[in-house]
Protein backbone atom coordinates (compact mmCIF):
# COMPACT_ATOMS: atom_id res chain seq x y z
CA UNK A 1 0.00 0.00 0.00
CA UNK A 2 2.77 2.45 0.89
CA UNK A 3 4.56 1.55 -2.35
CA UNK A 4 1.48 2.48 -4.36
CA UNK A 5 1.23 5.84 -2.62
CA UNK A 6 4.92 6.61 -3.17
CA UNK A 7 4.74 5.58 -6.82
CA UNK A 8 1.63 7.75 -7.34
CA UNK A 9 3.46 10.73 -5.86
CA UNK A 10 6.57 10.20 -8.00
CA UNK A 11 4.62 9.58 -11.21
CA UNK A 12 2.37 12.51 -10.34
CA UNK A 13 5.35 14.83 -9.95
CA UNK A 14 6.90 13.72 -13.24
CA UNK A 15 3.63 13.85 -15.20
CA UNK A 16 2.59 17.19 -13.69
CA UNK A 17 5.97 18.77 -14.37
CA UNK A 18 6.02 17.56 -17.97
CA UNK A 19 2.45 18.77 -18.50
CA UNK A 20 3.44 22.21 -17.16
CA UNK A 21 6.34 22.27 -19.63
CA UNK A 22 4.11 21.35 -22.58
CA UNK A 23 1.26 23.79 -21.91
CA UNK A 24 2.40 27.33 -22.82
CA UNK A 25 2.08 30.20 -20.40
CA UNK A 26 2.76 30.65 -16.72
CA UNK A 27 0.84 28.44 -14.32
CA UNK A 28 0.81 29.67 -10.75
CA UNK A 29 1.06 26.30 -9.05
CA UNK A 30 3.11 24.97 -6.17
CA UNK A 31 4.97 21.66 -6.24
CA UNK A 32 2.15 20.08 -4.24
CA UNK A 33 -0.39 21.23 -6.83
CA UNK A 34 1.88 19.88 -9.58
CA UNK A 35 1.87 16.47 -7.85
CA UNK A 36 -1.94 16.61 -7.48
CA UNK A 37 -2.21 17.58 -11.16
CA UNK A 38 -0.14 14.55 -12.14
CA UNK A 39 -2.13 12.18 -9.90
CA UNK A 40 -5.45 13.42 -11.29
CA UNK A 41 -3.95 13.18 -14.78
CA UNK A 42 -2.99 9.58 -14.06
CA UNK A 43 -6.57 8.67 -13.28
CA UNK A 44 -7.84 10.63 -16.31
CA UNK A 45 -5.32 8.77 -18.47
CA UNK A 46 -6.45 5.45 -16.98
CA UNK A 47 -10.07 6.30 -17.68
CA UNK A 48 -9.32 7.33 -21.27
CA UNK A 49 -7.26 4.18 -21.79
CA UNK A 50 -10.16 2.09 -20.54
CA UNK A 51 -12.60 3.90 -22.84
CA UNK A 52 -10.38 3.59 -25.90
CA UNK A 53 -8.96 0.09 -25.48
CA UNK A 54 -11.56 -1.58 -23.19
CA UNK A 55 -8.67 -3.17 -21.33
CA UNK A 56 -8.43 -4.12 -17.64
CA UNK A 57 -12.15 -4.52 -17.19
CA UNK A 58 -11.51 -6.42 -13.96
CA UNK A 59 -10.02 -3.30 -12.33
CA UNK A 60 -12.82 -1.05 -13.53
CA UNK A 61 -12.64 2.22 -15.36
CA UNK A 62 -11.24 4.26 -12.44
CA UNK A 63 -7.61 3.21 -12.29
CA UNK A 64 -4.18 4.84 -12.49
CA UNK A 65 -2.41 4.79 -15.84
CA UNK A 66 1.20 4.31 -16.80
CA UNK A 67 3.59 7.20 -17.25
CA UNK A 68 2.55 7.99 -20.84
CA UNK A 69 -1.15 7.92 -19.96
CA UNK A 70 -0.44 10.01 -16.88
CA UNK A 71 1.33 12.67 -18.92
CA UNK A 72 -1.47 12.79 -21.49
CA UNK A 73 -4.10 12.96 -18.74
CA UNK A 74 -2.16 15.69 -16.90
CA UNK A 75 -1.92 17.74 -20.10
CA UNK A 76 -5.68 17.46 -20.56
CA UNK A 77 -6.38 18.39 -16.92
CA UNK A 78 -3.95 21.34 -17.01
CA UNK A 79 -5.42 22.59 -20.28
CA UNK A 80 -8.92 22.55 -18.78
CA UNK A 81 -7.63 24.16 -15.56
CA UNK A 82 -5.92 27.02 -17.39
CA UNK A 83 -9.01 27.72 -19.48
CA UNK A 84 -11.30 27.90 -16.43
CA UNK A 85 -8.76 29.77 -14.33
CA UNK A 86 -8.20 32.37 -17.06
CA UNK A 87 -11.95 33.05 -17.18
CA UNK A 88 -12.06 33.54 -13.41
CA UNK A 89 -9.27 36.14 -13.49
CA UNK A 90 -10.92 38.36 -16.09
CA UNK A 91 -14.03 38.88 -13.96
Asked if 12 contacts 36 with a C-beta cutoff of 8 angstroms, the reply is yes
What is the pLDDT, as a whole number, of residue 11? 87
pLDDT digits (tens, 9 = 90+) for 18-54: 999 998 888 888 999 999 999 899 888 888 887 887 7
pTM: 0.80
Kindly report, residue by residue over 46-86, the tens digit of the pLDDT. Answer: 888 878 877 665 565 556 777 888 889 999 999 998 888 76
On whether the CB atoms of residues 38 and 17 are closer than 8 A, the answer is: yes
Dist. CA 91–CA 89, nearest whole Å? 6
d(C-alpha 73, C-alpha 83), whole Å = 16
pLDDT at 91 exceeding the cut of 60: no
Amino acid sequence: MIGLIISLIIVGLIAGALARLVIPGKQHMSILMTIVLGIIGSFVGGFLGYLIFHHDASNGFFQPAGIIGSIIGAIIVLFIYTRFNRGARTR
